[in-house]
A and B are shown apart, each in its own frame.
Chain A
Amino acid sequence: MARIEGVAGTTDSRTALTVRRVIAYVVLILLVIISLLPFYLLIINATRGKVQTGLQFYPGKALGGNFKTLLSENYKQTYGDFFRSFANSLIIAAFTTVLSVYFSALTAYAIHVYDFKLKKIAHTFILIVMMVPTQASAIGLYRMLKNMNLLDSYIPLIVPAVAAPAVYFFMIQYMASSLPLEIVEAARIDGCGEFRTFNTIVTPILKPAFAVQGIFTFVSSWNNLFMPQMIIDTAEKKTIPLILQIMRANIQSNPMAANAGVMNLFMVLAILPVVVIYLILSKNIISGIALGSVKG
């Protein structure tokens, strides 16, 4: 940080600086309010009752009741075991994250370290397909999975993470700035195999990049509704967003069973792990992005 001392220049006077500082704080505080408002409202809604009309800015009295309902045997019967859905989401998100960061790093390593004929083409190809939206091929994917007998399985939710162009892109940027080839060469002189070099010497250097892309991948997998909805049928295999979707469907079509308070409580509980992980890792993430980003 010290190295950018004096970025602002010298001409602004002390008062001008104070004015700028005040403006900065006012804007930041406003943005903080806006950013935290949704969390606040969700938490408030989780303390409110079965039928909720309009927004309310003070807590209700139904939190305990909502917890009881959520954990009741009846709810377990109706929506499935919540702990189970957390476990399912966790399994999918964890595997997706590990596969995604590891194999993206491996792919980036291949392009970064080795010289081979198709290197440039491979790199260009990955960057172009990075931009293709998943929805563009969803129809084809469904039919294919059906033919391959891969529906209602976690494989199509986890394995595709091996090929994550955006994560690859981040990894190669990161390597360009923080993985000198000398390290690889030194390992070779020590007689270390190529694969072992990557696993034991290179991956520790990439840790910050793993943290950044890890949390991004985890969050998007945790929140993903589109793919699991297409693929998962069995109640025991359902993930958190799928159960939330059924609760929301009840609010719209089944007023007898609908319970907005419980749904919001479930939503808060579903967001909680992600927020906690994010808060723990946020330092790594912010510095990680800085490390991996393009420098002029």
Chain B
Amino acid sequence: MKRKSISYAKWGYIFLIPFFLVYAVFSLAPLIQTFYYSFIDYSVNTGAVASVRNPVPAADNVVNNGFCGFKNYSSVIGNGGIFTESLINTMILWLIGFIPQIIFSLLLAVWFTDIRLRLKAQGFFKTVIYLPNVIMASALSLLFYSLFTQGGAMYELIYNITGNEQSWLNTAGGSRVVVGFINFMMWYGNTTILLMAAIMGIDTSLYEAAQIDGANPSQTFWQITIPLIKPILAYVLVTSMIGGLQMYDVPYIIGGKAGGANGKLMTVVSQIQQGKNSAVGNVAALSVLVFIVSAILGFITLKVMDDKSVKTRYNKKKKKKA
């Protein structure tokens, strides 16, 4: 082992070159620029255009007052600031989609891996539940918009059942449910497949032992399955949360430019998209905040994954070798 690391280490570096080179150019450099702008009092007057006949030193539709410390941050974080509000909105939308997503995915994963249940046509089901993921999010959202809008099929159905003539899209609660549902629909297949894989990896002898002890299915589920798939559950949770943090297309199409009923569909990335042409400094601060929140979440995943799974696996391998 030692010998190998001495003679071949340079290949490790060589093989890393393409990734880090490309990352540095196309991702890291723009990211650093974004950090820089977040400390600059910089905005663009989008109601004016740069002069072409008398080009002055700086484009005359740009307001650049130079370094401003944390001013951009305080203006987006403070009371009623767009970051705080939109972050709360985003998290609520994400939760509404994620809770049914994890419940159904767990249920399906357990069913698919339960050999006694002997479900037929599993391949068909597994394929179909994943399909909504290949449609463009915007196309899917447009369809749901026409289903739930005043006069749409779902609107009529809800109206006939509840007698409520207000379209769900016009209420904060209703529109959140619609957005959550679309997200659920797009991602539950993916999560099911991941969880299934995790369950299939559980050592069967554990289940055999439980069987001998006379455990019922729900006991087996809560006391064996759940604890053992915790790392992948954590992975699903955190990656979904990060995906949720980037939510944009679906709430934008359902809620429109002003973010739907009382602005409750306005997500962090919607704010970035809306302000990016004008409020450059503020939007950069928003982006950095998204980065920080994401990095923290990423760090948590890393911790969980490292401790619980990756290490165990490497340990196992070492044991085998020994």
Given contacts A32-B129, A116-B5, A122-B16, contact A38 B37 (CB under 8 A): no
Given contacts A42-B139, A159-B22, A295-B313, contact A110 B16 (CB under 8 A): yes
Cβ of A119 within 8 Å of any chain B Cβ, yes or no, is yes
Cβ of A136 within 8 Å of any chain B Cβ, yes or no, is yes
Complex-state Cα separation, A51 to B135, whole angstroms: 23
Complex-state Cα separation, A141 to B290, whole angstroms: 17
Complex-state Cα separation, A192 to B15, whole angstroms: 16
Residues of B within 8 A of A138 (CB): 30, 276
Cβ of A257 within 8 Å of any chain B Cβ, yes or no, is no
Cβ of B107 within 8 Å of any chain A Cβ, yes or no, is yes
Query: Chain A interface: which of B49-57, B61-69, B190-198?
Result: B190-198
Contact (Cβ within 8 A) A139 B34: yes
Instruction: Annotate B195-225 by CB proximity to A: 1 below 8 A, 0 otherwise.
Output: 0111011111001101100111101100000
Given contacts A8-B117, A136-B291, A296-B231, contact A275 B298 (CB under 8 A): no
Cβ of B319 within 8 Å of any chain A Cβ, yes or no, is no
Residues of B within 8 A of A97 (CB): none
Cβ of B39 within 8 Å of any chain A Cβ, yes or no, is no
Question: How far, in Å, is B255 (CB) from chain A's closest CB?
Answer: 16
Cβ of A129 within 8 Å of any chain B Cβ, yes or no, is yes
Cβ of A36 within 8 Å of any chain B Cβ, yes or no, is yes
Please report which residues of chain A, range 31-74, place their CB below 8 angstroms from some CB of chain B when the two chains form the complex: 31-32, 34-36, 38-39, 41-42, 54-55, 57
Residues of A within 8 A of B188 (CB): 31
Cβ of A137 within 8 Å of any chain B Cβ, yes or no, is yes
Complex-state Cα separation, A67 to B235, whole angstroms: 45
Tell me what chain A mostly uses at the interface: helix, strand, loop, or mixed.
helix
Cβ of B58 within 8 Å of any chain A Cβ, yes or no, is no
Cβ of B108 within 8 Å of any chain A Cβ, yes or no, is yes
Complex-state Cα separation, A137 to B10, whole angstroms: 32
Question: How far, in Å, is A109 (CB) from chain B's closest CB?
Answer: 6
Cβ of A168 within 8 Å of any chain B Cβ, yes or no, is yes
Please report which residues of chain B, range 3-29, place their CB below 8 angstroms from some CB of chain A when the two chains form the complex: 4-5, 8-16, 18-20, 22-23, 26-27, 29
Contact of A130 among B127, B211, B298, B312 (CB under 8 A): B298
Contact (Cβ within 8 A) A140 B30: yes
Residues of B within 8 A of A104 (CB): 19
Contact (Cβ within 8 A) A140 B34: yes
Residues of B within 8 A of A27 (CB): 104, 107-108
Complex-state Cα separation, A2 to B116, whole angstroms: 11
> How many residues of B are counted as interface, with CB atoms below 8 angstroms from the partner's CB atoms?
116
Complex-state Cα separation, A124 to B118, whole angstroms: 42
B12, B13, B188 — most chain A CB neighbours (10 Å): B12
Contact (Cβ within 8 A) A41 B8: no
Tally of A-B Cβ pairs under 8 angstroms: 319
Contact of A295 among B5, B198, B269 (CB under 8 A): B198
Q: How large is the interface on A (under 10, 10 to 19, 20 to 34, 35 or more residues)?
A: 35 or more
Contact (Cβ within 8 A) A156 B114: no
The 23 sampled A-B contact pairs (Cβ below 8 Å) are: A2-B115, A4-B202, A7-B115, A8-B115, A11-B215, A20-B117, A28-B119, A35-B132, A38-B139, A103-B18, A104-B19, A107-B15, A113-B12, A132-B291, A132-B294, A133-B294, A135-B272, A140-B32, A194-B11, A223-B137, A267-B136, A289-B194, A296-B231
Query: B-side interface residues toward A, CB under 8 Å?
Result: 4-5, 8-16, 18-20, 22-23, 26-27, 29-34, 37, 104, 107-108, 111, 113-119, 123, 125-140, 143, 146-147, 151-153, 185, 188-189, 193-194, 196-198, 200-204, 207-208, 210-211, 214-217, 219-220, 228-229, 231-232, 235, 242, 245-246, 248, 269, 272-273, 276, 280, 283-284, 287-288, 290-291, 294-295, 297-299, 301-302, 305, 308-310, 312-314
Closest CB pairs A-B (n = 6): A295-B201, A114-B12, A140-B30, A140-B33, A115-B5, A131-B298
Query: A-side interface residues toward B, CB under 8 Å?
Result: 1-12, 17, 20-21, 24-25, 27-28, 31-32, 34-36, 38-39, 41-42, 54-55, 57, 103-104, 106-107, 109-111, 113-119, 122, 124, 126-133, 135-141, 143-144, 156, 159-160, 162-163, 168, 176-177, 185, 194-195, 198, 219, 223, 225, 241, 267, 271, 274-275, 278-279, 282-283, 285-286, 289-296
14 extra interface residue pairs, beta carbon distance < 8 Å, beyond A9-B216, A286-B193:
A4-B113, A31-B125, A35-B131, A35-B185, A38-B135, A55-B146, A114-B11, A115-B9, A116-B12, A127-B302, A133-B246, A194-B8, A285-B130, A293-B232
